[in-house]
Structure formats: structure tokens, C-alpha cells
Structure 1
Amino acid sequence: MSASRKQDREILRLAVPAFGALVAEPLFLLSDSAIVGTLGTAQLGGLGVASQLLNTLVYLSVFLAYGTTAGVARQVGAGDLRAGIRQGVDGMWLALVIGVGVVAVGLPLVPWLVDVFGASHAVDPYARTYMAISLFGVPSMLVVLAGTGVLRGLQDTRIPLVVSVGGFSLNLALNAAFVLGFHWGIAGSAWGTVIAQTGSAAVYVAVVARAARRHGAGLRPDMAGLRTAASAGASLLVRTAALRIVLVVGTSVAARMGDAEIAAYQVGFQVWSLLAYALDALAIAGQAITGRYLGAGDVPRVRAATRRMVVWGVGGGVVFGLLIMAVRPWLPSLFTSDPDVRRLLIASLLVVAVLQPVAGVVFVLDGILIGAGDGTYLAWTTLIATVVFLPAALLFYWAHWSLVGLWGAIGLWMLTRMLTLGVRARGDAWLVTGAVRCRARQDASAA
């Protein structure tokens, strides 16, 4: 079997289950929406407001998965499974500490947070109820993120897929029982999700604890390990926050353009997000593979895997772009009968299609550099790309370029990210080998 074929099999072995797990995650809230929708419009609106708050929290906390993946994968590559699992345990303890802190701080702020999102008087009490109960599931939700990172670092994306599917199934069953059977209203939906999240977290804790016992790794929290995990995640948090700013500003600008524009933007963005799950699966494979090879000190294999994954990213982007072009004439009719929204969506989907190959490169290189532990560079360059996006979005808005202009600003943002990531990937500064990135750098400097 050729080297390229072996690389392809390794990439797909990690990426395909990762894609399934990524798609399963949003089904939590989708199933909630379907069941809560039977209660009434106000209840569904309350779920929508609370879901946005929770989605933001999950989005900002994804560093728990990414940072843990990179750190554990390096130790695996270096042949020290015990240290890798120990590092993963520290990441899970950090997730629990952050989760408990979020509950303590968030509960008193629930009324204020709901008001910030402008909930109406009818929606407000339901949003508060769902949010207040759902906060108790946050520690488990963050432990799931960290536990997912541990297993990805151990080159296992199948167990996260099984846990995601199992969690979704349990969530669906409990929501149906609590809301439709016991008539607990929106509170029943929230409790069903909290219990499903807690069950998923328990599975991860059991799996990691069993691995720790097998390899002689301790399970108690270690202050030095917690500090290391927090330090590794800080730059990724900045990166993620910068990405979130672009998403929030994009929605805000579209909303100010008009009702037809925000409706078309919402549909176009959902198409973008769906395809992003597939590309993000390649990024997850990139994190795990890059971390392992760098831990093993095998720079040539890192280079070869990087080239191969970029090919996959571009190829996937081209396929997705062609797919969008094929369905573009009739896709808008599935979502709306408004001719203005259809017209705007057809124009927007053209830009979305053209950007898919660029997105493929960006997602892959972003994942590879996360796997390399190059968080500081990612934080700075993501901030730079965001700074490029913000004035472009405002300029196109003031110039009345409508929704195509906004998507053009997003395209400029993606091109900036591709350029900065590509420059980094072509260089050698990110190729720091060894079980621990900072130690390897110090050793190299000393030499």
C-alpha cells in the first residue's frame, strides 16, 4: 500500500467518526425544539433565547477539547501513554472547575442574560426557566468536551461518536417523557438535557478512569497540571472568541439590512455551518495526527500528513461548492416563499459555494496548528483576520451592497485566515517536537 493510501486511511479513520459526533451534537437542541414546539410559540421562543446563550458557552469552551487533544496526542507520539492520560485527567478537572464556576456566577445573572437577548414579556419566563435549569448541566457539558479531547488525543474518535449518539437518544427519550408524558413543560425539556449530559460525562469519566488505572496514571487533581491545561487553553480561548465576534457581527449587520436579508442570511449560514461540520472533522483528524507525529519527533511525516490533509480539504471544498451550485436554483424554495428572500439567498449561495475550497484549507490548517500547540500564533492571526472583517462588513453595509457584500466580507476574512495559516504552515516555527511543546522549545533554545 502506498504512503498516500496509508495517510488517507488514517485521516478517514479519525475524520469519519468525528463527523458523526459533530453532527450528533446539535441534534440535542434540535430534538428539544421539536418537542418544546408542541407547547407553544412562547415556550419555543424561550428555548431559542436560552439555546443561544448555551451555544455561546459551548463555543467558547471548545478549547477544552482542542487543547487536551493536542497535549495528549504529543504524549502518545512520544510513547508515554501514562503521561498523556494524566494530562487528559488534568484537562477534565479543569473543565469541572470551570463548569462549577459558571454555575455559581451564572445563576444570579440569568434574568440579566435573558434581558440582554431582548426576550419579550411572553418569552422571558420560559427562557429564564430553561436557562436556570440548564446551567446545572454545564459542568457535565464541559467534562464531555475535555473527555472528547482525551480520546481524540489517544487517536480514538469512535467512542465520542457512540457517546454522542447515546446522549442524543437519551435526551430525546427523556424530553418526550418529561414534556409530553409528565407534562413538566419547558422545565422537563431542560431537565432531560441535563440528565443526558450528565450521563455522557459519566461515560467519559469511566472510560478515562479505566485507562488511567490500566497505565498507572493518577486521578487526583494536580495543581501544576491544572495550570498547564489552563495556559494551553488561554490562547485558544482568544482565537475562539475572535471567531465568535465575526459570527455575531455578521448576524447583527444582516439584521440591520432588513427582514428579508436576515432571513436569507440565516438560511445561508446554516448551509455554511452544515458543511463546516464535515470540514471540521478533517481538522480534528489533523489535531490528533499532528500532535502524535510531533510527539514522536517525526517532522517528515508531519509535513507529508499536512500536504495530504490540505489536499483533502481542497477536494472536499470543491465537492461542496459544486453541490451548492447544483442545488442553488431550488434550495431557497425549501425554506421560504418570499421572492425577496429567495433572490437574496440565491445570490448568497453563489459566494458560499466559491468560498468552500478556501474554507477547506482554513479548517485543515487550523486543526493542524492546534495539534501542534501553536495557539499563540492562532490567537494573533485570528484577531488580525477579525480586524480585517469588521471594517469590510461595515463598509459594504454603508455602501448598500446588501447580503452579497456581507458574504464578501466573510470571504475576505477567510482569505486572510488562509494566507496567515498558509505562511505559518510553510515555515518551520510551528514544528516543535517532543512530548511537551514548551519543554521542547526550551531544549532547542538551550542547544
Structure 2
Amino acid sequence: MKWNQTDREILRLALPCIVSNITVPLLGLVDLSIVGHIGSAAYIAAISVGTMIFSVMYWTMGFLRMGTSGLTAQAYGRDDAGGVRRLLRRALLMGLGVGVLFLLLQQPLLQGALWLIGPSEAVAPLVATYYHIVVWGAPAMLGIYGLTGWSVGMQSTRIPMWVAIFQNVANIVASLVFVFALHWDIVGVALGTLLAQWSGFLLALLLVARKVREVPKRVPLPRGASHWQAARGDVDIFLRTLCLVAVNLSFTTFGARQGDLLLAVNTLLMTFFTLFSYIMDGFAFAGEALSGKAYGASDGVALCRVVRRLFAWGWLLVAAFTFVYLVGGTSLLTLITNDAGVVAAAHRYLFWTWLIPVAGVAAFVYDGLFIGLTATRGMLVSSLVAAAFYFLLALSLLGVVGNHALWVAYLCFLSMRGGAQYAIWKCKIIAKV
């Protein structure tokens, strides 16, 4: 593949995002690793449940990042300094505001989560202890979401990378001290996470403050999207995220109904998708920044060039991941677990993972492009259609082909998202550029 300036821009933006994606799950893994040495399975279960609760809470608030990055990139592309500053204030205030709302609603949110998950009587109090401490980091985490979106829009993905790395280092150090030196057990783990969240937020503020100094204070250019348009985009992204949450939670639920073995198998094999998504998300972030910048500058030629090169990188990654999964799938399974029974059962479904890259590549690339162009309604429609088709397939085929039905449905969900976005792109979006 012949490189050009656009490729260098894509990699400059994508690589720090990939590093960030890899480090983010470490916050939960560090907590699990530390409590795993305390000596009680109840602690491990409590951290698992608590981490799941916060993952869902924060994932559904993804519009705080995605709704900011596209608008900021467009303002940056048209040299709208006032718009860039307004979007930063909006992102920060919305993140902190939603975080405070979570604090006010923390008790009903916890009760609803415990009712849905149903942990044992021994685990539930520990979950509550962990939750009631870590929830005070909600304003910090959601503030980071807004600052991350603004940074991506400003073509600076290194800010969220350094914040993610710093958070993990702070979490490891604080949790080790609180648990093993002060013997605070699960309280220590929770406090370590809380400290990491707020210290990460303060670092993000510092780095963004340095970045915003580069923005001229007064440039008399027209305003960008209205508050109503921005709010409508947030709603679209929020509803689209709920579709993704519903599909992923149902995938786990349907697997659990088939027994513990198949639940473990599906969890194991879903790691193949997670690995692919960590890399593709980086290129989606690059798509948000570069497509938004080109669109804001009314540079259709640059936008088309970005689209072509993103898909070139996407198909290169498809080839690489497919080869790795074909050749090294068994090795990856044994690397993740040494349970011979789970590995043997997973082999019957391993071939589905070979199709993950080709099924998912278009959805990742178009997500980045749609966010950059703030074409959020297209993202919502494509996700609704794909989710409806997923549930139709899964519920129709589960009784016929068993666990294979879930993988057929999930792969169709990925490919239909990309296919629907392609149709919307060709019919409604590209003509307006």
C-alpha cells in the first residue's frame, strides 16, 4: 500500500487512540488482580459486578465524547475559534452535569443494577460498598469523556492517551498501597480507582488548558451548529448506544441460558472481537477528526481522500486479523485460559471468529465518518435496523442450531450496520458534501 500525507495523518491520530483503548480495560483488570490476592471469591465477584455496572453507565453516556468530537473537528476545519471554545465549555459542563446527576440518582441506579444482575447475598453488600465509593468519580469520568471528544476534534489524540496511561499508573500505585499496606480490602480498591479517576481528570484539564492556548481568542467567523442541532445529535448517539448495549447484553444473556460452559465459550470468543475493536476504534477516531476537519473546511476532495485511505487501512487490518485468527486462533484460546474443557468446546465455534474482521470493518470506519460529519441520525437508523435483525435471527434460530445462532446473528448485526451506513452515505450524505 503506497503511503501519502493522509496515511501519516491517520496513523498520527490512530496510534495514540489504540494505546488508550488498550489501557482503559486495565483499570478494571487491576482491581480484579488485586482483590484476587485478598483471598475471597466474593471480592472478585463484587469487583466484576461493580465494574460491569459502571461500564454500562459510562458506555451509554458515549455521546458526551462522540457528540463533541465531530462538532469540534468541523469548527477547527473552518477556523472557527469561537466555536471551538464554546464546544469545550459545553463538553465540560455537560460531562460534569451528567456526573452530578449520577451522584444524585446513585441509590436507585444501584438498586436497579442489583435487581437486574442478581448477585448473591454475600456479594451484594460488597458491590454496594465498592459502588458507593467509585460513583463519586462519575463527574471526573464523564468530564474526561467531554475533554477527550474535544481533543480528538482538535486533532490531538495524544491527550487522551497520556490521561489513560496516567490513570492506570495512579490506580495501580494507590490500590496497592491501600490494600496491602493499609489493609483496606475492597474499600482500598475502590478508593484507588476513585483517586485515579479524579487525578486523570485534573491531568486532562491541564493538558486541554495548554491546547486551548493555541486557539485565537477572537476570530469573527460564523457560528457552527446550533444548541438544538447538537442536542439532537446527542440524543441520536445515546439511542444508538442503547441499541449496542441491548445487543451485547442479550448476547451474554442468551449464552447464559445455554449453560455455564457456553457462557464461558462465548465470553472467550468475544475476546477476538474485542481485540479487533481496540485497533479499529483507533482508525475510527482518526476518521472522526479528519473527516470533521475536511467537512468544516468544505474540502470535499480531502474528505474523499480520507474515506479512501481509511478503508485501505481497514481492509489491510481485516487481512492481518483474519490471518492471525486462522493460524493462531487455538493458541490465543490457550493463552486466555488453561481450562481444557472450555477450549475444546470453543473449538466448535472458533470458525465464526474468522469472519469478525470482514463483518465489522465497515461499521467501524463509517462510525468514525458519521461522527465527524455529525450525521448521527444515520448512525441511529443503521443500528436500529441491524439490532432488529439481530434479535429476529437470534430468537428464530436459537432453538434450531443452538449457540451457532448467536454468532450468526451477531455477525449479521455487524455487517448490517456497515451495509446500512454505506447505503445512507451514498444516498444522503456524500451528495451534500
TM-score bucket (shorter structure): over 0.9
CA distance 1:263–1:415, shift in 2 (3 Å): same
Equivalent residue, structure 1, for 2:221: none
Give SS of 1:245's match.
helix
Measure, in 1, the Cα distance between the counterparts of 2:43 and 2:36. 7
Equivalent residue, structure 1, for 2:160: 160
Equivalent residue, structure 2, for 1:19: 18
Give SS of 1:119's match.
coil
Measure, in 2, the Cα distance between the counterparts of 1:212 and 1:328. 45
Measure, in 2, the Cα distance between the counterparts of 1:300 and 1:289. 12
Alpha-carbon shift at residue 334 of structure 1 (Å) = 3.5
Measure, in 1, the Cα distance between the counterparts of 2:63 and 2:392. 27
Equivalent residue, structure 2, for 1:80: 80
Q: What is the 5 A alignment of 1:4-403?
A: 4-39=3-38, 40-212=40-212, 215=215, 229-336=230-337, 340-399=341-400, 401-403=401-403
Alpha-carbon shift at residue 107 of structure 1 (Å) = 3.1
Measure, in 1, the Cα distance between the counterparts of 2:286 and 2:278. 13
Q: So what's the TM-score if we normalise by structure 1? A: 0.90
Equivalent residue, structure 2, for 1:443: none
CA distance 1:389–1:112, shift in 2 (3 Å): closer
C-alpha contact (below 8 Å) 1:43/1:123 kept by paired residues: yes
Give SS of 2:122's match.
coil
- Supply the AA of the counterpart residue of 2:91: G
- Supply the AA of the counterpart residue of 1:59: W
Measure, in 1, the Cα distance between the counterparts of 2:34 and 2:399. 41
Alpha-carbon shift at residue 289 of structure 1 (Å) = 0.5
Measure, in 2, the Cα distance between the counterparts of 1:89 and 1:207. 15
- Supply the AA of the counterpart residue of 1:85: R
C-alpha contact (below 8 Å) 1:299/1:431 kept by paired residues: no
C-alpha contact (below 8 Å) 2:159/2:207 kept by paired residues: no
Measure, in 2, the Cα distance between the counterparts of 1:251 and 1:275. 19
Q: So what's the TM-score if we normalise by structure 2? A: 0.93
Measure, in 1, the Cα distance between the counterparts of 2:281 and 2:109. 33
Question: Which sits farther off after the overlay, 408-417 or 284-293?
Answer: 408-417
Q: Which runs of 5+ in 1 are unaligned?
A: 219-223, 434-447
Alpha-carbon shift at residue 155 of structure 1 (Å) = 0.2
Alpha-carbon shift at residue 4 of structure 1 (Å) = 4.9
Measure, in 2, the Cα distance between the counterparts of 1:9 and 1:248. 37
Equivalent residue, structure 2, for 1:438: none
C-alpha contact (below 8 Å) 1:178/1:189 kept by paired residues: yes
Q: Which runs of 5+ in 2 are unaligned?
A: 219-224
Measure, in 2, the Cα distance between the counterparts of 1:29 and 1:278. 20
Measure, in 2, the Cα distance between the counterparts of 1:332 and 1:284. 29
RMSD over aligned CA atoms reads 2.1
Q: What is the 5 A alignment of 1:414-425?
A: 414-425=414-425
Measure, in 1, the Cα distance between the counterparts of 2:230 and 2:126. 36
C-alpha contact (below 8 Å) 1:86/1:212 kept by paired residues: no
Give SS of 1:334's match.
helix
